[in-house]
Structure formats: structure tokens, C-alpha cells
Amino acid sequence: MKNEVIVLGTGPLANRMGRFLEERGCQPVRADEKPRSDALALIDITAGMEGEKKTSLLKWEQNLSPDTPVFTSVLHLTATQIASWLQHPHRVVGFSPLFFEKWDRVEVSCPLQAEGDSRFENALSLLAKWGKKAEIVGDEPGLVFPRTLALLVNEAAYCLQEKTASREDIDLAMKKGTNFPQGPLKWADDVGIDQIVAILTGLHRELGDDRYRPASLLRKMYYARYWGKAAGRGFYEYGQMSDPATGEPR
Amino acid sequence: MSEPRFEKLAVIGAGTMGIGIAEVFAAGGQDVKVVEISEQVFQNAMSGLKKRLQKRVERGKIRQEFAEKVLKRVRYVPDIRELVDADLVIEAIVEKLDVKQNIFHELAEVTSPNTILASNTSSLSITSIASAARHPERVMGIHFFNPASRMQLVEVVLGAETAPSLAEQVKRWLKELDKEPVIVKDTPGFLVNRIARPFHLEAYRYVQDQIASKEQVDRIMRTAGFRMGPFELQDLIGIDINFAASVSVFEGNFYDARYRPHPLQRQMVEQGAIGRKAGRGHYSYEK
Ligand SMILES: NC(=O)c1ccc[n+]([C@@H]2O[C@H](COP(=O)([O-])OP(=O)(O)OC[C@H]3O[C@@H](n4cnc5c(N)ncnc54)[C@H](O)[C@@H]3O)[C@@H](O)[C@H]2O)c1
């Protein structure tokens, strides 16, 4: 048994996932196209903002056996929509990759097509084997924690863009005034501005409510690739600017 | 240039917040005058403060002499006309705009134009409070959190007309009192109450839309490092208080969808299930 797990995606989330899998005795496999009919699972970290998610999932599905579970990030899309692309939609499990390696719980969602299908339960037992308790929640972009965090960050970004307060004061206020474990702007830099924007635009598109409209500052930071700590720059500066995917200096 | 010091301090209202703010000043070595509607109300507040200080003496946190000094520095005055020479006055009376405007109008008449007039309001606009006072450029928000003696954060709020130079002056003084001040422009909810809105409001949507149960939401948020999830926290704060804060930020923003409260919030309030203080809220606390 090679215990191979295919990881789709780049950047800090994918790197951390790779290390996590190695610690669990699995072999993360990235970016080659040989059939992997004996792979344990495919884990797709990509948010899917640029359409690359569909192409790579379609390509990879052909290399898997029909029962291999596909864990896919639902920060921007629903598991139901992602499943609709695939030949075997029942194998899809939506999940949140944020702090996946760190927390003992992981939020997952079941695509409509897989409701009542035993393959979903089987997939969760794999998570259990890795020491993760599955918290099954409804299938909407961003699930629960990522959606809440994105909205907190969005409100903080509005405050910053309006010059209601400085970034340091915004973070300090939330930590000291209401016991947030992190200031929202610093937290966003850790998670990645790209992820935050993916969640907000996903919710805005799916639910059509103005509550989810991203602050223009966030949209611009996304375009400028000020994606946070991994990019060297987000709401704060972290030394040199680098490519958030590869870590190469820019 | 020597900075103006705030030596002569006064607090209007000795409720939960007012007496706590007076305690902060007194513990920082400053004398403070307190105005209340009657001496009896003031004395009641003082005996509360005395009990709290006594507990801290018993737990070895502070010394007896210190507790006595703190109490001696807080003094009752029956009338705001006795505040003529005050450097800084903080108002902490009921959260009603017209009542606050009346007090600020009066305060502006009796004090010098250099006296800083501050409100501890959580949700009213500093600009509208200031509009009732002569020299609105010295009116600002100094928003302590409950309990004032233990919560380090203070929001220093600048109204549309507040002199910007006051922000840094007040900030430095608050730092000397061991607080962590932040400077914020006058917007509904300021920083904390505004940015925390989605933490509470989105939680109701998860439940209504069958995305997650209350227990799940609280568990997930605790896993993320919050000390409490939104529902357990609301039970502690009071769902009525939390709902009022939501409505006030929503109205203050002319009904922007970002701040829209949730019908389930109102339902909880209408049933009287407002949290721990009622024995039931999102969870049951009946013995
Ligand atoms: N309680 C909190 O958690 C909290 C936190 C931050 C800010 N605030 C704000 O602080 C202010 C006070 O809140 P509180 O909870 O201490 O209220 P409270 O009801 O406990 O106290 C108000 C006090 O003001 C007195 N008062 C009323 N009118 C007066 C007048 N004309 N002159 C003198 N005294 C008068 C009352 O007798 C009462 O003792 C409000 O603006 C509130 O929004 C409250």
C-alpha cells in the first residue's frame, strides 16, 4: 500500500496539507498525471476563483477509481456544484482547508447528489483515521467558520478603507474589546486574502445578498496579489513580496 | 510645549459604567467628582464599589490602604454647576439621545470652552450629541467597556467636529491610566460593536437556513479559538442587549444589508428568553 493522496493546489494551504499527510504516513502526490487507481483520496485545496478547479478535477477524475473520495474546498463554491461536474458525483465531500492540520475538527458538507449515499460516510471515516472529527454542516460557500471570519474581515476592511481607524487599532480593539483570539486583519493575512475574497465573492454570487459584497480594498488587494503573509504583503508587510503560489521573490 | 493635564475630572451618572470609570480614575491616583440624580443613588453605587474593592483586598490583589485611597478620591457633587473648573467630564447616564443632548447642552453652558466633554455612549452618534453643545470641537466619545476597571480597551471617538488634536492627548492620558486606547471616527457601533456584528448575526442565519445547529456553531467557533461561540456569548451578554445593539447599528447605517438583524433575535426577546439572567436563552439555565 503506497497510501498515496493526491493534492491539488499550490500555496501555503497545500504545503501544510502535504506536511500533514506525511505525518499521517501518507504520501502526498502533486501535479503528475499517471493513473492512481489505488490512491486513498484526492484532496483539492483550490478555491476555484479562476475556473482552474473544474479543469483539474475533470482531468484527475479519469485517473481515479470511481469510489476514491474527493475532498474539495468549498470556500468559494458548493460541493453540490462541484459534484455536478464529475462523472461520479457521490464521491465528493466539501470541506474547509483553513487550519485543517491544526484543529481536531474539520467542517464538511455533503453534496445534494450524495445525500444518503454510504460513500459519504466512508469518506468521513478516512478523516477520522487522520484524527479529525467531522462537523457536518450545510452546503453553502464558506461553511461556518470561514464564512464568519470572512465577514469579520470584510467589516474590518471597510473600517480601514474608510479610515475609521488604523489597522493596528482595529486589530487591538477586537482582541481587547471582545476577546477575539486574533485581530481580524492579522488573521486574514494568515489565512490568505485570496481565500477571504473567494469566500465573500462565492457567498455574494450564491446568495445574492448585499451583506456579502466584498470591500473594494479587499478586491484590490486580491488583484494586486497582496495575499497576506505568504505573499510578503497583505494588510501588513512581511519583508519581501513573493509569489504566493511558489514562494519565489517578485 | 507642556501638555494640558487632565487634573479635574468628573463623571455624570454612577451606574454600572459611571462608578467603574470613576474607579479607574481613582485607582490611577486622580480625584473625581461624581454627579448623580440623588446622593442616595451615589451612596449605593459607592457601597457596591467598596464591596468589590474589599474582595480584591481579601484575595491579596490590592492593599487595604489602596482601597481606602480609591474610595476617598471619589466624591459626590449634587449639581453639574459645580463642575465649572473641570478639565474633563465623562457622561455615563441612560442611553437616550435627547437626555444626553440636554446634559451636554447644560455642561457646555457651565464649563469653560476648553473643558473636554465626553460621552461613554455605546451606540449613539457623538456628532449628534455634540450638536447640542456650544463648542462641539471639545466633545468626543470615550467609550469604556464593561467592567471598566478590568477591560483595558477604550475607544476614543472623534465626532465630525471634534478637534483632531484631542485624540492623541486623551490617548496618552488613558495609557497612563493603564488602558489600551484606540482612536476611531464616529460611525455607528464604532469599532468593536460594528466589526463583531457578523459574529452574532450570521450565526442566526446558519440556524435558520439549517446550515448548523446552535451547538455546532458554538463548538466550531470555540475550535477556532473564540472563548465562547456566538450563542453562549449572547446568553451571557443578554439577547435583548445584543438585539438592541444590532438594531442601533442597522438604523445608524440607514438599513444597510450588512447589518440587518435577524427575526429570530426579536423572537427570542419577545418570548423573554433573553439569556442567563432570565434562566433561558439559546440554552436553558434552569436549576
Ligand atoms: N452597561 C454596559 O455594558 C455599557 C458598556 C459601555 C458603555 N455603556 C454606556 O454607558 C452609559 C451608561 O450605561 P450604564 O449601563 O452604566 O447605565 P445605568 O443605568 O447602570 O446607569 C445610569 C446612571 O445614570 C444616572 N443618571 C441618569 N440621568 C442622570 C442625570 N441627568 N444626571 C446624573 N445622573 C443621571 C442614573 O441614576 C443611573 O445611576 C450608556 O450610555 C451606555 O450605553 C454601557
- Give the CATH number, domain containing residue A182: 1.10.1040.50
pLDDT, residue B27, reads 97
Q: Are residues A10 and A128 in the same domain?
A: yes
Domain contains A11: yes
Domain containing A129 equals 4-137
Is residue B41 within 6 Å of ligand 1 at its C-beta?
yes
Domain contains A246: no
Q: Which three cell numbers stand for residue B267?
A: 423572537
Q: Are residues A85 and A120 in the same domain?
A: yes
**Residue B189, burial from CB neighbour count under 10 angstroms (0-12, 13-18, 19+):** buried
On whether the pTM is more than 0.90, the answer is: yes
**Which of A117, A137, A157 is at the close of a domain?**
A137
Distance of residue A170 Cα from the nearest chain B Cα, in angstroms: 7
| Cα diameter, chain A | 57
Chain B residues whose C-beta is within 8 A of a chain A C-beta are: 145, 151-153, 155, 180, 182-185, 187, 191-192, 194-199, 202-203, 206, 209-212, 216-217, 219-221, 223-227, 256-258, 260
What's the ipTM? 0.96
| Interchain proximity B191–A164, CB inside 8 Å | yes
Q: Are residues A10 and A133 in the same domain?
A: yes
Q: Is the peptide bond before B147 cis (omega within 30 degrees of 0)?
A: yes
Domain contains A122: yes
Q: In this structure, what CATH number is given to the domain that contains residue A91?
A: 3.40.50.720
pLDDT tier for residue A245 given thresholds of 50, 70 and 90: confident
Domain contains A221: yes
| Interchain proximity A180–B226, CB inside 8 Å | yes
Is the pLDDT confidence value at B146 over 50?
yes
Q: Are residues A107 and A194 in the same domain?
A: no
| Mean pLDDT estimate for chain B | 96
Domain contains A245: no
Task: Give me the torsion for CA of B265, B270, B275, B279, rounded to 10°.
Answer: -150
Distance of residue A235 Cα from the nearest chain B Cα, in angstroms: 16
Domain contains A241: no
Indicate which residue's Cα is closest to atom 25 of ligand 1: B13
d(CA A230, ligand 1 centre) in Å: 46
pLDDT, residue B249, reads 97
pLDDT tens readout for residues A183-227: 999 999 999 999 999 999 999 999 999 999 999 999 999 999 999
Q: Are A228 and A188 in contact (CB under 8 A)?
A: yes
Is residue B153 within 6 Å of ligand 1 at its C-beta?
no
Question: How are the residues of chain B apportioned to helix, strand and coil, as percentages rounded to the nearest 5?
Answer: 50, 15, 35
Domain contains A236: no
Q: Are residues A37 and A112 in the same domain?
A: yes
Q: Are residues A157 and A109 in the same domain?
A: no
Q: Are residues A123 and A20 in the same domain?
A: yes
pLDDT tens readout for residues B240-273: 999 999 999 999 999 999 999 999 999 999 999 9
pLDDT tens readout for residues B177-222: 999 999 999 999 999 999 999 999 999 999 999 999 999 999 999 9
**Which of A96, A115, A137 is at the close of a domain?**
A137
Domain contains A242: no
pLDDT, residue A32, reads 65
* Residues A174, A156: Cα–Cα separation, whole Å: 10
Query: Best of B16, B123, B144 to mutate for ligand 1, by most ligand atoms within 8 A of CB?
Result: B16
Closest CA relative to residue A100, chosen from A178, A177, A23: A23
Q: Are residues A29 and A126 in the same domain?
A: yes
Q: Are residues A94 and A40 in the same domain?
A: yes
Q: Are residues A73 and A19 in the same domain?
A: yes
pLDDT tens readout for residues A23-78: 999 999 876 667 777 899 999 999 999 889 999 999 989 888 888 999 999 999 99
pLDDT tens readout for residues B90-119: 999 999 999 999 999 999 999 999 999 999
| Interchain proximity A174–B202, CB inside 8 Å | no
Non-local (6+) Cβ contacts of B211 within 8 A are: A137, A138, A140, A143, A144, B205
Q: Work out the average pLDDT over A167-185.
A: 97
Q: Are residues A20 and A101 in the same domain?
A: yes
For chain A, give the percent of residues with pLDDT over 90.
82
Q: Are residues A158 and A121 in the same domain?
A: no
**Which of A137, A156, A182 is at the close of a domain?**
A137
Please name the member of A178, A181, A209 whose beta carbon is closest to the beta carbon of B225: A181
The total of structural domains in chain A comes to 2
